[in-house]
Structure 1
């Protein structure tokens, strides 16, 4: 393996020497420059694997150099050295295309982390690495092509990215793709839905707690920030954070450290923040329900995920992928969409986007008797016919259905209650037909495929 190379640009000899010694001890071959003119000459002659530049130089500033590097040698990651507390300058450099930034006085552990992350960008290409569900980024429409290109480009940066888009459009998958294609790909990817955490537990969930710090804290807890150390923290539905938590989140992001509940010391964390919401965050800032300083900190770069209705030509490819996955999951032959079914899907508005398409196809897949899904099987704009219900409780003979006793205190767990009805009905039908699944499906008034689906979902295989 060849020796990695770096270029350090700073007009202060002491800083240049400190950085050169630090990088040399990491096994990196270092060149130095005292101004932008010299730096450009060295970059054009032999682009290094990392460029580290001061912001204020005798013949220009670091932002100008970042722009120049983006045009002339875009494969070279460049990090800028900013004055202490100059967060606006740091954000400006990230928007210009800088890989990352480090503040003066330079903390050597932080510098080493930055350098190691930058050098990973020159390792073998991982752009084709599959995500958890690559189908959500499938498509040949202009919007999806642009989205894939943007994720590849943003993966090379450490800038916070705000992913906007409607519910069900695949924002978490985009975040995963940014993580998997970047230098943090070997670290953890931690996704959290900010709207799903009770406000009283939010600080403990994010920052962790010490044993005994409050009632119920029976053990030490790391928290989401420390769980994501060395990787990426994805804050989904970030607009749902209460104001008091927004203040604490902003401090943790700026200081790159967290203070667990009940602890007097801050713990440093090395994470990249990606965030998303389906809500209009700038409007919430205007209303005063979302802090403007936090908005500017997480929204350094915005990435828009197009809704499904804007890319109808991708529906066929997405549908085929979803149906093939369903067939693998339920060990059935894949179903095919008829031309009429495909046209009906293309005409649908999809307010729920890709997630809605998945739900529609899963329902149709389980209900169709043959290996073809026709327009009627999609049940778009109409309720499913009684004989083809995916809810077995609707197919039970009325006098066999158990009575529903609502609890006096507390709430009824309706989903589990319905599943228990389905489980009992399936068991009864299988016993009556001596475990002949085809006959049992007929007795239940559902398709064989729907029975297979239910058996797998309820863990009855």
Structure 2
């Protein structure tokens, strides 16, 4: 939308002679002017006139110019320039701290006033253009569909992703299991400068020091290697705090040098990639405990994003549930079940330790039960009761059994993972892989 040929200014001035003087000056400078004698009338005229700038006296009967400034939404309202015959340094400082664009003393110098108003106009139009571009980018990228929700926490997350996507800087995503860290990572990639390149997700808990170079760097006259395959794209290091120490050193070298040396090759291969990492732990504690290299953390945490938990965005629960029910209804070729008041109460009362991932699983169980003409959200929330909600496929049944068995073992051994792995008869690495794959939240089980 092209801005109007004549910029719009709203003048708020109780002195008639001064008001007429300002009207003459600004109309001669090709501004479209609306002048008001009282600040109390601004609110009713703001939406209709839509000024680019507001020029207001400070001392007026009723609402003062500072009162008017305080009443305006800084995100939505145009810049406000204050003008006063009684101005002093203290008042100017208060005005600027309150969000005023500038402060002018009477008698004003016409050229200086016009310059200040022009700069305020330029700022306002740039801000509107930026906002329109962001809104267009959201529509083009489907970010509002990927990071679904309308709570302030979700809106702030989408805004943060849009702001950081184009920077190409390293981003560390820190948050609980199931908060959508990989979704955020993919959104950063899709909206960033490397969007046309590949996206490689690595589960750091599953990386083994043995054979790491061959798998990741490649072999002469053999496999290319996973890291050379991501040249020009993005590497997503998931669960980075669980990365084996020997692998951390090798990853750090790759990130610092932006090159790899495939086995049997004499010269290193240069790479260009963005690094996004994620953890559900406190990385500073992992450093203090010797589980995470501090120099690696410094390379990863240029910017930190903390996706909100579902408990922090509880008003999004019903919107997300409706979305997931529709999604799984299409997958299983059935009708999405209607939510009863009892279903709504059960969803809103639940604490969601597994966050959005848990809600998604609950909705899938609800749809599977609905295919058989049974079930409820309260029943779907009972992950320990397989009864009527037995999965339809062997894979689903095995996953449900593993989730229950591993969860009970973690609880029984109070989170001591070596003891859990020994009790289950599997290796520690295999246990870590299954915990990540099954979306288990160790903290919630203890």
> TM over 0.5: same fold?
yes
Match of 1:245 among 236, 244, 247: 247
Alignment check: 8 A CA contact 1:161 1:302 kept: yes
2:234 maps to: 232
1:152 maps to: 162
Tell me the alpha carbon deviations over residues 183-217 of structure 1, each in whole angstroms, 9 at most, x when there is no partner.
21111111111112333133333222224xxxxxx
Q: How many residues align?
A: 271
1:35 maps to: none
Alignment check: 8 A CA contact 1:367 1:377 kept: no
- Cα offset for 1:369? 5.5
Q: Distance in 2 between the 1:353 and 1:307 partners?
A: 6
Q: Distance in 1 between the 2:135 and 2:194 partners?
A: 14
* Structure 1: gaps of 5 or more residues: 1-71, 77-121, 212-219, 394-413, 419-461
- Cα offset for 1:389? 3.0
- Cα offset for 1:145? 0.8
Match of 1:191 among 201, 205, 224: 201
1:202 maps to: 212
Match of 1:356 among 343, 355, 358: 358
2:11 maps to: none
Alignment check: 8 A CA contact 1:281 1:290 kept: yes
Q: Could you list the structure 1 runs, at least 4 aligned residues long, displaced by more than 4 angstroms after superposition.
A: 122-125, 133-136, 369-373
1:127 maps to: 138
1:284 maps to: 286
Q: Distance in 2 between the 1:169 and 1:376 partners?
A: 22
Q: Of the two, which has the highest radius of gyration?
A: 2
- Cα offset for 1:359? 1.1
The secondary structure found in structure 2 opposite 1:336 is: coil
Instruction: Tell me the TM-score normalized by structure 2.
Output: 0.55
1:221 matched to 2:232? The reply is: no
Alignment check: 8 A CA contact 2:346 2:378 kept: no
Instruction: Tell me the TM-score normalized by structure 1.
Output: 0.54
- Cα offset for 1:368? 2.7
Q: Distance in 1 between the 2:265 and 2:170 partners?
A: 28
The secondary structure found in structure 1 opposite 2:179 is: coil
- Cα offset for 1:269? 0.6
2:98 maps to: none
Q: Distance in 1 between the 2:193 and 2:279 partners?
A: 25
Q: How does 1:169-180 map to 2 (within 5 A)?
A: 169-180=179-190
Cα 1:369–1:189 shift into 2, 3 Å: closer
Q: Distance in 2 between the 1:392 and 1:263 partners?
A: 47
2:97 maps to: none
Alignment check: 8 A CA contact 2:235 2:276 kept: yes
Q: Distance in 1 between the 2:191 and 2:344 partners?
A: 33
Cα 1:326–1:210 shift into 2, 3 Å: same
* Structure 2: gaps of 5 or more residues: 1-121, 127-132, 402-446
Q: Distance in 1 between the 2:381 and 2:303 partners?
A: 40
Q: Distance in 2 between the 1:250 and 1:282 partners?
A: 17
Tell me the alpha carbon deviations over residues 267-308 of structure 1, each in whole angstroms, 9 at most, x when there is no partner.
011100001111221111112221111111111100001111
The secondary structure found in structure 2 opposite 1:288 is: coil
- Cα offset for 1:179? 0.8
2:27 maps to: none
Alignment check: 8 A CA contact 2:175 2:309 kept: yes
1:108 maps to: none
Q: Distance in 2 between the 1:379 and 1:180 partners?
A: 33
Cα 1:333–1:254 shift into 2, 3 Å: same
Match of 2:339 among 324, 337, 352: 337
Cα 1:326–1:130 shift into 2, 3 Å: farther
Instruction: Report the RMSD for the aligned CA atoms in angstroms.
Output: 3.1
Q: Distance in 2 between the 1:254 and 1:381 partners?
A: 44
Q: Distance in 2 between the 1:389 and 1:272 partners?
A: 42
Match of 1:308 among 281, 305, 310: 310
Tell me the alpha carbon deviations over residues 390-449 of structure 1, each in whole angstroms, 9 at most, x when there is no partner.
3689xxxxxxxxxxxxxxxxxxxx949x9xxxxxxxxxxxxxxxxxxxxxxxxxxxxxxx
